[in-house]
C-alpha cells in the first residue's frame, strides 16, 4: 500500500502488507487492513488515515462490480483500464475427444480411398462397398495406391488379394511386405462379367477380346460356348479395356468388364454374366497408415507373414501352434524370399544342396485382443527368424448372392 498524507504535519506511516502465501484465503466481501502509526501521532490523525484508506477500498470494490456488469457486454476493466473484447465462452473451440482421433471411422463419407484401375473397375465397386460415399481415387498401378496412402494423398486403399477362381494376386502380397501399411478390414465382392462392344456391333464381327488376364481366364469356357473365334489380349484392368475400346472406336474388339463400365463408356452389353463359375468372388483388403484396435465383440481375422532359417520343416511347428489352440486358418500362401531366395546346405557325403527360401503369409480367424492369438504368435516367434502382423481386422460377414453384381 502507498502511504497516505493527511492534512496534519504529523504523517502516519502505513506499513505495506506482507506478500500473501498460497495458504492465505482472501474473500472479496471481507478485507482486513493492518496499519502502523508513529507513537507521537494523535489518535485523530490515525482515524483520518484509516477513513481515507477505507474509502479507497470501497471505491475499488465498486469498480470491480461495475467491471463484472460490463462483462455481460464482453467488455472487462482491469485496474481502471478498458481491455479488448472477450470471446464468449460458447464460441471457444471444444477440446478433442477420442472420437476425433479414431483411425477407422464407421462410414467413409469423408475418406479418400485409392484403388487400382479406372472408374468402372471392380476395385472401385469394392471401395464403395467398404466405405460408402467415399471419394474414390483411381491409380494406374497397385504400388501407386500404396504410395498414395503413405504420402497422405489418400486415407485408405482397397486392393484385391485373392479370387475364388484365379487364386492369389501375388503382386499385392509382395507389396504388403514392402510397404508399412496396415490391413484394417476386408470386403468380398461378387464378380459379374459382361461382354461389351460399341453400339451396333454384333458379336460375330469381333476378332479379339481384351480384358484383365484373370477376367479372360474366368470367361474362357463361356467365350468358347458363344462360338467366338477371337484372340484374347490382356490389359491392365477390366474397366480400362472398356475405356480403350470406346476411346479408339474399335468396332472389331470386345471387352470383358462390368455393367457399370458399359454405362460409363457408352458401350452395349452383348452377353451378360459370362463368367464360367457363378461362385466368382474377389477378396479385397482395406489398408491404412495406422492399425485399428482389435476387439472381441465381433468376428476378427488376423494376417501375418513370417520366415525361418531352417527350411520348411519348421512350418509344421508353426501350424501346430494354431491347431493346438483351436484357431482356424483361412489361408496360407508362400512367396519367394527376395532378400535370400536360395539357401545352400553343405554335406560332405552328398555335396552342396540348394533350397529355395520362402515367406509364408497366413490368415487365421482370431483377434489379437484374444489371449489364444497372442500365445500362438508368441510360440510362432520362437521358431521363426522374422514375424510381422499385417493387421487384425473385422471379417466381412455380409450375405453373398452369386451371379449378381454388387
The answer to whether the CB of 301 falls within 8 A of the CB of 163 is: no
* Catalytic-residue membership of 316: no
* Catalytic-residue membership of 284: yes
What angle, rounded to 10 degrees, do the helices at 122-130 and 238-248 form?
Answer: 130
As a whole number of Å, the end-to-end CA separation of the chain is 82
What number of other Cβ atoms are within 10 A of residue 89's Cβ? 6
Residue 284: closest CA among 63, 179, 131:
131
CA 240, chain centre distance (Å): 28
Active-site residue identified among 142, 146, 238, 284: 284
CA distance 57 to 377: 74
Whole-angstrom Cα Rg for the chain: 38
Residue 195: closest CA among 216, 180, 179, 174:
216
Q: What does the DSSP assignment read for 211-269?
A: E-HHHHHHTHHHHHHTT---EEEE-S-HHHHHHHHHHHT-TTEEEEE-HHHHHHHT-EE
CA distance 371 to 376: 8
Active-site residue identified among 222, 253, 282, 384: 282
Three-class secondary structure of residue 292 per DSSP? coil
* Grid coordinates of 296: 472381441
CA dihedral (397, 277, 171, 168) in degrees, to 10, reads: 60
Enumerate the active-site residues.
Answer: 282, 284
Amino acid at each position: 500500500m502507498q502511504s497516505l498524507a493527511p492534512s496534519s504535519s504529523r504523517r502516519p506511516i502505513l506499513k505495506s502488507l506482507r506478500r500473501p502465501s498460497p495458504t492465505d484465503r482472501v474473500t472479496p466481501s471481507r478485507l482486513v487492513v493492518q496499519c502502523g502509526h508513529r507513537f507521537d501521532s494523535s489518535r485523530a490523525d490515525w482515524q483520518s488515515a484509516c477513513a481515507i484508506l477505507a474509502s479507497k477500498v470501497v471505491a475499488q470494490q465498486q469498480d470491480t462490480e461495475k467491471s463484472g456488469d460490463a462483462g455481460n457486454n464482453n467488455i472487462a476493466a482491469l485496474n481502471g483500464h478498458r481491455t479488448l473484447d472477450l470471446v464468449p465462452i460458447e464460441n471457444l473451440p471444444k477440446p478433442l475427444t477420442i472420437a476425433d482421433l479414431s483411425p477407422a471411422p464407421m462410414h467413409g463419407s469423408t475418406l479418400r480411398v485409392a484403388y487400382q484401375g479406372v472408374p468402372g473397375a471392380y476395385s472401385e465397386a469394392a471401395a464403395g462397398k467398404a466405405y460408402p460415399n467415399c471419394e474414390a481415387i483411381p491409380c494406374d498401378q497397385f504400388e501407386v495406391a500404396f504410395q498414395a496412402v503413405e504420402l497422405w494423398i489418400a486415407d485408405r486403399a482397397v486392393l484385391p488379394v485373392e479370387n475364388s477362381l484365379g487364386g492369389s494376386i501375388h503382386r499385392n502380397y509382395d507389396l504388403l511386405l514392402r510397404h508399412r501399411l496396415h490391413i484394417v478390414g476386408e470386403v468380398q465382392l461378387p464378380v459379374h462379367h459382361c461382354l461389351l462392344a460399341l453400339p451396333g456391333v454384333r458379336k460375330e464381327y469381333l476378332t479379339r477380346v481384351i480384358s484383365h488376364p484373370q477376367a479372360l481366364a474366368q470367361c474362357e469356357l463361356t467365350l468358347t460356348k458363344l462360338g467366338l473365334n477371337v484372340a484374347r489380349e490382356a490389359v491392365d484392368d477390366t474397366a480400362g479395356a472398356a475405356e480403350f475400346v470406346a476411346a479408339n472406336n474399335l468396332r472389331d474388339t470386345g471387352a470383358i468388364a462390368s455393367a457399370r463400365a458399359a454405362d460409363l463408356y457408352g458401350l452395349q452389353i452383348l452377353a451378360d454374366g459370362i463368367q464360367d463359375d457363378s461362385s466368382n468372388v474377389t477378396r479385397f483388403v482395406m489398408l491404412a497408415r495406422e492399425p485399428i484396435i482389435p476387439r472381441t465383440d465381433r468376428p476378427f481375422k488376423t494376417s501375418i507373414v513370417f520366415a525361418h532359417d531352417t527350411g520348411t520343416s519348421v512350418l509344421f511347428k508353426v501350424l501346430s501352434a494354431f491347431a493346438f489352440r483351436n484357431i482356424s486358418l483361412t489361408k496360407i500362401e508362400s512367396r519367394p524370399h527376395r532378400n535370400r531366395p536360395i539357401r545352400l546346405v553343405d554335406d560332405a557325403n552328398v555335396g552342396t544342396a540348394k533350397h529355395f527360401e520362402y515367406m509364408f503369409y497366413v490368415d487365421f480367424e482370431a483377434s489379437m485382443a484374444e489371449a489364444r492369438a497372442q500365445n500362438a504368435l508368441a510360440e510362432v516367434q520362437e521358431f521363426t527368424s522374422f514375424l510381422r502382423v499385417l493387421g487384425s481386422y473385422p471379417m466381412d460377414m455380409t450375405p453373398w448372392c452369386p451371379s449378381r453384381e454388387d
